[in-house]
């Protein structure tokens, strides 16, 4: 088994805290598993959504910046996130989206046994509901309006747009252990054996370069077992002439960031200690959690952060 264990999380930039919370919990049925702040800019929330335990592979995180200009989907970025669903839940979800006035593109078959519905969140973030007969991702969030068999089952894929797929493919295969498993048109699909979640590389040399802003993905993070392994991969990247950051303490994981040759920002994040470090599973996401170095300024920080939506 390779030292990387699949997708840990993806992170995006949005502008409207309340619409974000309503969409991802109320419509998609994910659970808010962590309220914390951007450790590099503590006056901005960092929100984590996922399954009931906040398991890597189910996590989508957001930085809500109010009054932020709209970003632009384009090359050198991750642009679309796919979410796993059972094939039998297609009609349920199409009706759910229509009843909640969520616009979507008609279902299309991409790979055999895989039906895809594209939609966007309130900030314009690219999302795909992927309905498959071979649903193997067990990560589920519990929602009272969504039957168990129809719930989202974690991250299905992340879609990266680049000039040439070979550059990004080289990093995925040589340093992260992914293998090319299929292609269709300009889409090249990579899989890490034994781990859920695909990486789809789209070769789009004609596209404009993406611009960070509201409605764009900031980075994709890959799960790593332990800080020692994280350090070893970091050293290999340095030897290859790639410039990763130092190992950073993100409280719930240790991480390293680097920009792969195709231009997409990658993060390596340890699996432990995880989202239950400071909250038990029953209370995940119900109150603001801060790292120790920000606790002394909690009172002042709370005055600067907007009030959070009511959580059931």
The CATH number given to whatever domain includes residue 200 is 3.10.180.10
Classify residue 34 as left (phi > 0), alpha (psi -120 to 50) or beta. beta
Looking at the predicted structure, is the pLDDT value of residue 188 above 70? yes
In a domain, 238, yes or no: yes
How many domains does the chain fold into?
1
278 lies in a domain?
yes
Does 312 map to a domain? no
- Is 310 inside a domain boundary? no
Confidence of residue 1 (pLDDT cuts 50, 70, 90): very low
Would you say residue 210 lies in a domain?
Answer: yes
Q: What is the pLDDT of residues 232-283, one digit of tens each?
A: 999 999 999 999 999 999 999 999 999 999 999 999 999 999 999 999 988 9
CA-only gyration radius of the chain, Å: 19
pLDDT range class, residue 143, cuts 50, 70, 90: confident
- The verdict on residue 88 lying in a domain is yes
Give the separation between CA 242 and CA 240, rounded to whole angstroms. 6
Which residue range forms the structural domain that includes residue 153? Answer: 4-304
Q: What are the pLDDT digits (tens) for 278-303?
A: 999 889 999 999 999 999 999 999 99
Would residue 93 count as lying in a domain? yes
In a domain, 28, yes or no: yes
Name the pLDDT band for 196 (thresholds 50, 70, 90).
Answer: confident
Q: Please state, in angstroms and as integers, the Cα–Cα distance from residue 122 to each residue in 113, 157, 159, following that order.
A: 29, 21, 19
Q: 203: burial class by Cβ within 10 Å (0-12, 13-18, 19+)?
A: buried
Per-residue model confidence as pLDDT tens digits over 61-104:
999 998 889 999 999 999 999 999 999 999 999 999 999 999 99
Confidence band (pLDDT; 50, 70, 90) for 139?
Answer: low
């Amino acid at each position: 088994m390779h030292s990387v264990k699949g997708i840990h999380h993806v992170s995006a930039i949005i502008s409207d805290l309340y619409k974000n919370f309503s969409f991802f919990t109320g419509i998609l049925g994910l659970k808010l598993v962590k309220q914390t702040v951007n450790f590099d800019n503590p006056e901005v929330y960092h929100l984590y959504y996922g399954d009931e335990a906040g398991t890597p592979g189910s996590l989508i995180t957001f930085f809500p910046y109010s009054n932020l200009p709209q970003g632009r989907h384009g090359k050198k970025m991750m642009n679309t996130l796919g979410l796993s669903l059972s094939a039998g839940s297609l009609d349920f979800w199409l009706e759910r989206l229509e009843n909640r006035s969520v616009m979507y593109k008609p279902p299309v078959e991409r790979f055999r046994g895989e039906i895809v519905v594209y939609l966007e969140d309130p900030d314009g973030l690219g999302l795909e509901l992927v309905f498959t007969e071979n649903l193997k991702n067990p990560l589920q969030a519990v929602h009272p309006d969504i039957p168990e068999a129809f719930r989202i089952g974690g991250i299905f894929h992340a879609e990266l747009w680049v000039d040439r797929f070979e550059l990004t493919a080289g990093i995925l295969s040589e340093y992260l252990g992914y293998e090319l498993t299929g292609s269709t048109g300009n889409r090249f699909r990579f899989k890490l054996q034994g781990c859920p979640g695909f990486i789809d590389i789209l070769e789009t040399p004609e596209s404009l370069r993406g611009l960070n802003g509201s409605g764009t993905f900031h980075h994709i993070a890959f799960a790593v077992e332990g800080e020692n392994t994280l350090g070893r991969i970091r050293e290999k990247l340095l030897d290859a002439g790639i410039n990763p950051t130092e190992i950073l303490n993100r409280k719930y994981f240790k991480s390293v960031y680097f920009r792969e040759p195709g231009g997409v920002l990658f993060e390596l994040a340890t699996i432990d200690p995880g989202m239950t470090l400071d909250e038990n599973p029953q209370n995940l996401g119900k109150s603001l959690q801060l790292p120790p170095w920000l606790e002394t300024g909690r009172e002042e920080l709370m005055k600067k952060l907007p009030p959070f939506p009511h959580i059931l």
